[in-house]
Amino acid sequence: MADVITPWQFHEADGLEDWRVVGEGACTYFRTGSFAVGTRLVGAISELTNLDAHHPDVDLRHDGGGVRLITITDDSYGLSTRDIELARQISAVAHDLCLLADPSAVQTVQVTIDAHGRGASFWFQEMDAPRPQRNRIHIDGWVPYDRAEARIAAAIAAGGHLVSDEHAPAWWTLADAEGNEVDMATTASRD
């Protein structure tokens, strides 16, 4: 197994300008302009060596595609040196196709339910005590650490407000006019 690394070790590695680490691994988004060009990108990625042992997740759309890298083993879920090498290879094949990465499009969304226990498709977050007058379900929006402030500003400009920045830069809690909450999360300070 490759060496486990932190999100900051990933970002500090050379040749990874196209990539950002969010809650679900190292991610990038390539603007392809068409589905046909996107399929060429996926084809080029599929030709890389050793993908059976460590493959990327690809989400191809009509005008672009997201790629996610994460190392999952029996005793680990996170980033490894294998992700660094594969990210460099994927960026290289994308650049060979004259595709530009758009890291500002990277994000993951997770539904969080503040309760006891844990279920299959939802994250159940243990609570110390009941929270009267606060939502028990909120959304965690994972964004690249270098885009968090812009996303928060956009949410506030759209009518939201800051509930708490107590845990920043790991996350900020925002709410809409009706009090529905979202945590804008990053990998910052989570090593």
What string of DSSP letters covers 11-75? HHSTT-TT-EEETTEEEEEEE-SSHHHHHHHHHHHHTSTTTTTS--EEEE-SSEEEEEE-EEETT
To which CATH superfamily is domain 4-105 assigned? Transcriptional coactivator/pterin dehydratase (3.30.1360.20)
The answer to whether the CB of 4 falls within 8 A of the CB of 71 is yes
Bridge partners (DSSP) of residue 175 are 161, 181
Both tokens of residue 52? 């059976």
pLDDT at 125: 67
The answer to whether the CB of 97 falls within 8 A of the CB of 19 is no
Is the whole model's pTM more than 0.75, yes or no? no
Both tokens of residue 37? 């060009």
| CA 165/CA 183 separation, integer angstroms | 10
Max CA distance (Å), the chain: 55
SS (H, E, C) 75-92: CEEEEEHHHHHHHHHHHH
Coil vs helix vs strand at 173: strand
Angle between helices 35-46 and 81-96 (to 10 degrees): 130
Q: What ranges do the domains of the chain cover?
A: 4-105, 108-185
Q: Please write the tens of the pLDDT for every residue from 130-185.
A: 666 666 678 888 999 999 999 999 999 999 999 999 999 999 999 988 888 899 99
Q: Please write the tens of the pLDDT for every residue from 13-53.
A: 999 999 999 988 999 999 999 999 999 999 999 999 888 87
Give the mean pLDDT of 100-112.
86
| Strand 100-101 with 25-31, pairing | antiparallel
Give the residue among 94, 71, 96 at the shortest CA–CA distance from 9.
71
Neighbouring CB atoms inside 10 A of 62's CB total 11
Peptide bond preceding 169 in cis form (omega within 30 of 0): yes
What kind and span of H or E run contains 108? strand 108-114
